[in-house]
A = this chain, B = another copy of it.
């Protein structure tokens, strides 16, 4: 029997709470579907800093490299805001992305019909919304050198005497591989890709545009490709998000645009994400799965968090890492059923009120629906 290995990194804030509900779901699949998961758990982010003095230990990094899939909760919190940059919780997450080479970050922004009224946008603008943002995740200004804060004392014009530098750097190869991922995904969806950059002001944006076009013309001419400046992209996401199918963009633009897109749906607590790398020996990609929401320190430990985003992230792992598409479908349908039954965590309560269920109750409902 195949054993599926999974490394769980709950992280900070609400991470551990939502992950406990995923454990219940895993338990259900083991008991009722005869699947065997080899689940290990470890620390990342502030939790790892508290124990090891750094946000990801080398042992944890090695473990992440050896499993079929990593499931991460969230990192960061006010307690760690004043740590030195090199040991901030975020560095743990960024190290995982970089060393596992997870270059394609898939962020679906889907508006669940039962929840369309939670959006700050009008129902007719977002109902049925289903876009996929493919964000480059291992390069760009997140990782480019040189970087740092330097003294600039010999510059009398510079009151304050310091200078802060980061470098946006992309190679054509880095652009091509994430473009391919976007085109592949588009073929299984609406067959349209919109690429976003600032080619009107940045040379790295010109290279981005040219390389995406090259991949299109040489390998994916059947997919419809358009280009848009990222500022216009931000506007168009607000104005009429349903005009898009797949959006491909760089690390930093992807960070802002995918968050804006996620918020359009009105149900951030529902959105999973997958970060995929190159295929491993078994043919499946290196992979890490995470909810789109953050660590939400303001509600941590209170049983208020919505575990659905993390549970749906596990569903993505079932599909992309374990090739268990039927099980993924089953889990997604269970979530839909629970929502259709009107079960709601606090973040999903409308103005009309009602009694929200706790994190654990939501998990129980989903297991029951399975």
- Which residues of A are at the interface with B, using a C-beta cutoff of 8 A? 76, 85, 88, 90, 94, 120-122, 125, 141-142, 144, 147-149, 152, 155, 157-177, 198, 200-208, 211, 214, 230-232, 234-235, 237-240, 252-253, 255-257, 259-260, 262-264, 268, 294
* Separation of A144 and B162 alpha carbons in the complex (Å): 15
* Separation of A244 and B254 alpha carbons in the complex (Å): 23
- Chain A to chain B: the 3 pairs with minimum beta-carbon distance, closest first: A160-B172, A164-B207, A164-B204
Copy number of this protein in the oligomer? 2
Residue of B nearest to A119 (CB): B122
Q: Which of B158, B198, B255 contacts A172 (CB 8 A)?
A: B158
Residue of B nearest to A215 (CB): B160
**B residues near A256, Cβ cutoff 8 Å:** 230-231, 234, 253, 256-257
Are A163's CB and B172's CB within 8 A?
Answer: yes
Given contacts A94-B201, A234-B256, A238-B260, 18 further A-B contacts (CB under 8 A): A120-B121, A120-B125, A121-B238, A160-B214, A161-B172, A162-B171, A163-B170, A163-B171, A164-B208, A165-B167, A165-B168, A165-B169, A165-B203, A230-B255, A237-B260, A238-B238, A239-B263, A253-B256
Of A85, A90, A173, A268, most buried by chain B (CB within 10 Å of CB) is: A173
**B residues near A253, Cβ cutoff 8 Å:** 256
Q: Shortest beta-carbon distance, A27 to chain B, in Å?
A: 33
Q: Shortest beta-carbon distance, A179 to chain B, in Å?
A: 11
Are B201's CB and A142's CB within 8 A?
Answer: yes
**B residues near A174, Cβ cutoff 8 Å:** 158
Q: Which of B147, B203, B294 contacts A149 (CB 8 A)?
A: B203
Are A163's CB and B234's CB within 8 A?
Answer: no
**B residues near A171, Cβ cutoff 8 Å:** 152, 155, 157-158, 160, 162-164
**B residues near A90, Cβ cutoff 8 Å:** 200-201
Q: Shortest beta-carbon distance, A206 to chain B, in Å?
A: 6
Are A264's CB and B238's CB within 8 A?
Answer: yes
Are B159's CB and A173's CB within 8 A?
Answer: yes
Are B176's CB and A159's CB within 8 A?
Answer: yes
**B residues near A166, Cβ cutoff 8 Å:** 167-168, 202-205
Residue of B nearest to A76 (CB): B200
Residue of B nearest to A254 (CB): B231
* Separation of A110 and B207 alpha carbons in the complex (Å): 36
**B residues near A162, Cβ cutoff 8 Å:** 171-172, 207, 211
